[in-house]
Structure 1
């Protein structure tokens, strides 16, 4: 069992399935079983998946002052989630059958309200590995994490290498995850440039139904992995967070990047067959079965 700290935004989410993106204008569109609401956000989604896999997870975030009840019935530890914002961040996410996403995000006063660094130090002391989102909220955590010597994972939600904030996260990250939606150049070239300019041990570039690319410094090469098909695709929202969570769980468990990414691809493939942050997670026993069926047949 790993001990993880994950920090970032927790938000109220409305997920809407649409026929296609961009959305065609219509004053009223009546649809059935296509609009879903719940709690999400990168930090919450990662914590939720890690907890499901049996890990000890500390979630660090701020939420709205009227929403302290959000974690009263949840299985996640609420000790380091503080109701210090005027409102909880919110997002509306549209997706279509081609796996395209369009997100409208309102983070409220998340970037203006500082987190109690003394409490962060307490949370950090309990963790073996730290996962941060590339947000202004998480920027103050970079220095203490690096000083602690603990491995730092950055879950990029949008990446601009010319952006000063993103540069700070790229410079200190041990492991990075980013979607190709945020990459303007050829994926292989983007991975090559990042591996040369930054000191990361491992980089994962998610490419949706095309699979992913993974760079490891130990091998000094970029390896493509095909996507895995387990269930019919229902909703791809949160697939990247699920993949990263499972990857970190197995990497922490066995220290093997390449084996961990195979489990992660299966975990994400199963997740996209369901709608909702808390639905669609496989157990370790289920993943072992699928691992034998999918990967061991190539031996």
Structure 2
């Protein structure tokens, strides 16, 4: 059954450049190994994942009246994600990603053009009507929407990415309001298992917590005490890890919304993310529900189930 899911946040026009190594050595000119352009940004990628998996997605974002905006609008139209939730701004957000042969990437997101936009609450509330889930990314223009959205009675999900502190002032509205909270392991001050334990202790509204572990897979926990660790799988060669966390998060939400089974959700999420990073432009490639199910059966990731807090 299709779920109605609202996704709020940045949609950006990205250029991805294949380089030889980090650090990048200076040269007046240099031919990249490869180059790809297209629409990305956390909200754009998550929305595309959910749409491909069969959900009814309502995208709330800001797109500029510029050349990048025209490209974004065209691509969102092709993906059936262009709807009344798109607000027009003067300039679009954009970015550049450098990618080495082993798939490591360094991103340069330019969100300043949309950070100062005030997204209309009435428009967001209308998009949230009859929604099953609100995916509210931690983009700056979404921040003022979070606390009012928590009063709508619809579950909120967020990925706070490179968070370092449970008391982080910027992310506080999301931490206090979300029922599903994901993040990356890269900047955590403690182990991922201890992090989720402390997250549940501090934020009683949170029901499910997840941590992306990069090449080690992912971890998820429920408030009831279940702790799941799923190892990474890479069905193909690793080419570009851009957006792996968004793929993990979006796929988890799709399966969770349909089943409320965190084990199945995390296994599917790890498989989908592992498949996507085999593409030069992972954002543009997403599996359907049927394709993901078949791939998961063929590449079932090793899974350990335990308890947190023990």
| Normalised TM-score (structure 1) | 0.91
Equivalences for residues 1-299 of structure 1 within 5 A: 1-32=2-33, 34-66=34-66, 67=69, 70-72=72-74, 73-74=77-78, 75-84=80-89, 86-161=90-165, 162-199=167-204, 200-218=206-224, 220-295=225-300
User: Structure 2: how far apart are the matches of 1:262 and 1:296?
Assistant: 6
Tell me the SS of whatever aligns to 1:287.
helix
Q: Secondary structure at the match of 1:264?
A: helix
Q: Provide the secondary structure at the position in 1 that maps to 2:233.
A: coil
Aligned residue-pair number: 295
Take 2:70 and 2:129, find their aligned partners in 1: how far apart are those partners?
24
**Once superposed, which parts of structure 1, at least 4 consecutive aligned residues long, lie more than 4 Å away?**
none
Distance 1:93 1:80, change over 3 A: same
From the superposition, tell whether residues 25 and 142 of structure 1 become closer, same or farther in structure 2 (CA, over 3 Å).
Answer: same
Q: Which consecutive residues of structure 2, in runs of 5 or more, have no partner in the other structure?
A: 304-310
With over 3 angstroms needed to count, the CA separation of the structure-2 counterparts of 1:258 and 1:65, relative to structure 1, is: same
CA shift for structure 1 position 297: 9.7
Change (3 A) 1:180 1:96: farther
Deviation digits for residues 90-148 of structure 1 (CA, Å, limit 9, x no counterpart): 11112224443322122133222201111111001141100111122111211232111
SS in 1 for 2:272: helix
- 1:195-235 per-position Cα deviation (integer Å, ceiling 9, x unaligned): 322221111111111111112112x1433210012111111
The CA deviation string for residues 138-166 of structure 1, in whole angstroms up to 9 with x for no partner, is: 11211232111111101223324243121
Provide Cα deviations, 1:41-61, integer angstroms capped at 9, x if missing partner.
000100111111111000001
Instruction: Return 5+ residue gaps in structure 1 as ranges.
Output: none
In 2, Cα distance between the equivalents of 1:282 and 1:140? Answer: 33
Specify the SS of the correspondent of 2:253: helix
The separation in 2 between residues aligned to 1:281 and 1:42, in whole angstroms, is 14
Determine if contact 1:133/1:156 at 8 Å carries over to the other structure.
Answer: yes
Change (3 A) 1:282 1:14: same
TM-score between the two structures when normalised by the length of structure 2: 0.88
